[in-house]
Each structure stands twice: as C-alpha cells, then as structure tokens.
Amino acid sequence: MANLTLPELNGKAVLITGASTGIGAALAKAFGAQGAMVGVHYNSSEDAARAVANAVEAAGGKAHLVRADASKSGAIAAAVEETAAAFGRLDGLINNAGGMVARLPYAEMTDDHYDAVMDLNGRSVLAATRAALPHMKTAGGGFVINTTSIAARNGASGGAGLYGSSKAFIANVTRGMAKEFIPFGIRVNAVAPGVIETPFHERYSTEAQLKAQLATVPQGRLGVAEDCVGAYLFLACASLSGYIIGQTIEVNGGMLMP
C-alpha cells in the first residue's frame, strides 16, 4: 500500500470520524500519503489524534484536528463545518466513528443502552452526512464511505447484538443515501470490517472470544487496520469505483461470504 499512488486524491479534503486509533487512524495516514487534506476527528483520545495528524503531515498531506462527541448531532455537524472551513472545501466524508458501548444481551437491554449505541453508530452518520452534503454539492460531487461491520450480517453474539443491529441500520442507510445523493455526483458506499485487531476489541472482547472467532476465519488470521485501507481508497476514487454506489465491501478474511 505504501507505493500506491492515486493522484485524484491529492489536494482533496476528507473528514474521517473516529480517526485517532484503529481503522480510522490507518485511513487518515493512508489519505495523507496520497496528499489529501485530512480532518482527523476524535473525542477523548487527543494525544493519539495529534500523533495521527503529525503522521498525516509527515506523509505529505495536511491535517486538521477536530474534537466532537459523535453521538451528539450538533457536535458532529459542527466538526464537519469546522473541517470544511479549515480546508476551504469538503470532498469526502468517512463515517468511521462508532463503538459497542458495552456487551449487553437483548434480554438485559435498557433504553439508555439503546440510545447510547444508536446515537453513536447511527445518529452520528446521519448528522455528519447531512452537514457534509451542501459542501460536496458546492464541490461538484464527492464521496461518503460508511463503516459498518460483519456484525450487521451475522447478528453478532456475546452481547453485541444491538451493536450489530446499529451497523445493519447503517448498511441500509448507505443504500438509501446512495440513491438520493448520486444525482449530485456524490457516491455513497460502505466497508464492513470483520474481526480487526484494534483498540475496539481490546476494550470489548476477551482473548477467548477472539480465539473462537479466529477459528472461523479461512485466511487463518485476524485482520489489522491496514487490511481495510485499500477498500476505502478504492471507494474514494471515482476513476476506480465511479459506477459503484450503495455497495458494502466485506473485509473479513473469508469469515463471511455473503
């Protein structure tokens, strides 16, 4: 991936939510390496986000740090506006912020847990994309890439069911937005990572749970954040994926083959 050159991303302004760690951090660095201007969004991990921003600029891109609680519509919309103002334009949005909040079986679910999960994984995508739309229209087009999950298709397990359902919601939002936005030259697609070794699983999964999931991966290993980067770069480039809209690319080592 280090030697890949995609000239059409050079100078493009892209906001990546949840960019301080994991997949988001890998994406920020990858877009920076293509000469993009990258909005590095974070909420609580300021030091990690600052390190990512430094890496973006070291790779040849430009970075703008922006903090917001993604689960709050007003806050994430303001992050979009701040990024567009910092770069003078906005060409792409990667809705990557999300989380499980906690492992909780459906039988024990509370309204507060439902609100926390759906606001973080669902409302954030709707609010950020709504705020980004006028800027992309002004730019004459652009792209939105949503991060969903293998859990959106397999129902998840071990108390992750609501998380999986929130990601299934985003998979369908992706299709609906794709239909609505393509008349403006804005392509909307999604990427569904499988089990990727990131701080997400350090927080929510035990070693035993990860071993059990590894046994179901034909490729024989769990993924790493860098395994996901190519799918996002592909979907960001109209020259490569200009006739692809409303699709979800599964990145899971063969764990699920829909």
Whether residue 28 is predicted with pLDDT greater than 80 in this model: the reply is yes
How many CA atoms are closer than 13 Å to the CA of 31, on its beta-carbon side? 35
Task: Please confirm, yes or no, whether 163 is among the known catalytic residues.
Answer: yes
Alpha-carbon distances of 236 from 49, 88, 220, rounded to whole Å: 22, 19, 29
Question: Which of the four pLDDT bands, split at 50, 70 and 90, describes residue 209?
Answer: confident
Q: In the predicted model, what is the mean pLDDT of residues 209-224? A: 92
Cα(first)–Cα(last) distance of the chain, in Å? Answer: 26
Q: Name the helix (H) or strand (E) containing 132.
A: helix 124-139
Q: Quote the crossing angle between the two packed helices 124-139 and 161-181, to the nearest 10°.
A: 20
Question: What φ, ψ does residue 94 adopt, rounded to 5°?
Answer: -115, 110
Question: Which of the four pLDDT bands, split at 50, 70 and 90, describes residue 4?
Answer: confident
Largest interatomic CA distance in the chain: 51
Whether residue 205 is predicted with pLDDT greater than 90 in this model: the reply is no
Catalytic residue among 106, 114, 163, 243: 163
Whether residue 203 is predicted with pLDDT greater than 90 in this model: the reply is no
Count of C-beta atoms within a 10 Å radius of residue 208: 8
Question: Which of the four pLDDT bands, split at 50, 70 and 90, describes residue 200?
Answer: confident
Across the chain, mean pLDDT equals 95
Q: In the predicted model, what is the mean pLDDT of residues 127-140? A: 98
Q: In the predicted model, what is the mean pLDDT of residues 20-36? A: 98
Question: Which of the four pLDDT bands, split at 50, 70 and 90, describes residue 2?
Answer: low
